[in-house]
Amino acid sequence: MEDVFDGLDLHPVAKPALGGLVIGLFGVAGLPHVFGVGYEFITEALRGELPLMLMGALIVAKIIGTSATLGSGGSGGILAPSLFLGAMLGGVVWNGAHALTPGVVTANYGAYALVGMAAVVASATRAPLQAILILFELTGGYEVILPLMLSSIIAVIVGHRLMEESIYTVKLRARGILLRQGQEVNVLRGIRVSEVMQEGATTVPFNMRLRPLLDLVSETSMHSSIFVVDEHDRIKGYITYQEIRRVLFDVESLEAVIVAGDITNLDVRSVTPADSLDVVMRLFAQKNQDELPVVDPEEPGRIIGSIHRGDVVNAYNNEILKRDLLGSMESGYEAVRRARTTSLGPGYTMAEVEVPSHFVGKDLRSLDLRNREGIEIILVRRRSPEAPGKTENVMPSAELVLRHGDVILVSGPQRVIERMTKG
């Protein structure tokens, strides 16, 4: 529903009004139960005071109402709607079970509603222990604890089958953040093959004779795989040392009859420059290869480069190091921002300084503060053009032009920084 409202070409003020209209229509239709958190109606469901048809209607109405509220920018809640839906659903299940097998249903109406509440909460939040403990605290008895545990666990399993993420983590997944799979996947997902790949690759035609092929293998040290192409330069497969080793025992007799295509591994997997390194590592693991071909997305099968396992590992390590350094720098910057200055040792300091007027309009290369004054600019903080009143951090580069109102984080001799602060 959030995607639906985001796609509407409406003024931002009109969207919550539209969401309110949806809720109001339910009130007009005689279902004011969807208003607010609905705890009083949960209590009625636990007591068995709501008719079957009403509870069935409220399940649909509450889902639509809560979704419309959240999608239009309001606060629809998560826990309270889950409890409401679970109570109504439990009541519906009790009625259905009682009608189908009146002699088998042993638990009372409220127990079914309570177990339904635990199941829906557990499935929506993917937190079965939370649901079990909350609902167990409401009862204070052990009679219902086993059904609570079973229904919560089953609900989590079924919910995971229907949608991998919980209501809390689905937005993070849309941004490429996978909490369950750890930092390495998130890092690799943010790096593209185009940033790591090597231009060009060792290719041979499908009909190359064995002797020239062996000579090429002996001369090729940078690539662990040789890619075999057809007459249209489209990839057909690859040859590694494993394939070569099978014919080394009798080269003299085989070189007259064997060509590259005879020993080619045809089960080849390729990637494009736009793929992430996460995809590359999965293919490496599946094929047990150290090198994959990179193909042109506009001309499938045409090799434009290759990517090595070692290059992916190096890119991952560099990205982790960069993030660690950035985190350290941000924490240091936060300390300076609060105190305005911090000592780095005798005669040296780090400080946050507003850009002097004679620096405005000049780039960092022309200022050459490092050579002239011994000053290092670490970070530039300036007003965000997209969000008035907010600031953004800009990494310094030689071409960066300082603006009026910029605040720079600098380190160097204390006397020079004091002079900059005064001037």
Beta strand 235-239 pairing with 226-229: antiparallel
Q: Are residues 170 and 205 in the same domain?
A: no
∠ CA 143-144-150, nearest 5°, is 130
Q: Are residues 26 and 104 in the same domain?
A: yes
Q: Domain for residue 29, yes or no?
A: yes
Q: Are residues 170 and 199 in the same domain?
A: no
- In tens, the pLDDT along 178-202 reads 555 555 555 777 788 888 888 878 7
280: its two tokens: 């590359």
∠ CA 340-342-347, nearest 5°, is 125
Q: Domain for residue 362, yes or no?
A: yes
Report whether 227 contacts 203 (CB < 8 A).
Answer: yes
Point out the domain boundary residue: 275, 297, 314. 314
361: its two tokens: 């309009």
Which residues are registered as beta bridge partners of 353?
Answer: 408
Q: Are residues 14 and 143 in the same domain?
A: yes
**pLDDT recorded at residue 339:** 46
**pLDDT recorded at residue 88:** 93
Beta strand 391-394 pairing with 376-383: antiparallel
Q: Are residues 272 and 397 in the same domain?
A: no
**Which residues fall within 8 angstroms of residue 353, CB to CB, at 6 or more apart?**
407, 408, 409, 410, 417, 420, 421
What CATH number does the domain containing 310 carry?
Answer: 3.10.580.10
Q: Domain for residue 310, yes or no?
A: yes
What CATH number does the domain containing 10 carry?
Answer: 1.10.3080.10
- The Cα–Cα gap between 13 and 94 comes to 43
Q: Domain for residue 326, yes or no?
A: no
- From start to end of 327-416, where are the E strands? 341-345, 348-354, 376-383, 391-394, 407-413
- Cα 58 to Cα 201, 311, 319, distances in angstroms: 63, 56, 50
103: its two tokens: 């002699």
Point out the domain boundary residue: 174, 204, 222. 174
Q: Residue 350 sits in which domain range?
A: 340-422
Q: Are residues 169 and 21 in the same domain?
A: yes
Report whether 113 contacts 91 (CB < 8 A).
Answer: yes
Q: Are residues 296 and 410 in the same domain?
A: no
Q: What are phi and psi of 108, to 5 degrees?
A: -80, 175
Q: Are residues 232 and 295 in the same domain?
A: yes
Alpha helices in 192-308 (DSSP H): 210-219, 241-245, 251-254, 277-287
Q: Are residues 158 and 41 in the same domain?
A: yes
Report whether 91 contacts 59 (CB < 8 A).
Answer: no
Closest by CA position to 148, among listed 97, 99, 92, 107:
107
For helices 145-162 and 128-139, the axis angle rounded to 10 degrees is 150
Q: Are residues 169 and 41 in the same domain?
A: yes
What CATH number does the domain containing 378 carry?
Answer: 3.30.70.1450
Q: Are residues 169 and 76 in the same domain?
A: yes
Four-point Cα dihedral 212, 213, 219, 223, nearest 10:
160
Q: Domain for residue 121, yes or no?
A: yes
246: its two tokens: 């099978």
Q: Are residues 100 and 203 in the same domain?
A: no
Alpha helices in 222-363 (DSSP H): 241-245, 251-254, 277-287, 309-339
In order, the DSSP letters of 175-193 are: TT--STTHHHHHHHHTSBG
- The Cα–Cα gap between 164 and 167 comes to 10
Beta strand 203-205 pairing with 291-296: unpaired
Report whether 306 contacts 198 (CB < 8 A).
Answer: yes
Q: Domain for residue 335, yes or no?
A: no
Residues of the chain with pLDDT under 70: 105, 141, 172-186, 220-223, 248-249, 251, 253, 287-288, 320-345, 386-389, 423
Q: Give kind and range of the element (H or E) at residue 307.
A: strand 299-308
Q: Domain for residue 327, yes or no?
A: no
Q: Domain for residue 324, yes or no?
A: no
The structural domain count of the chain equals 3
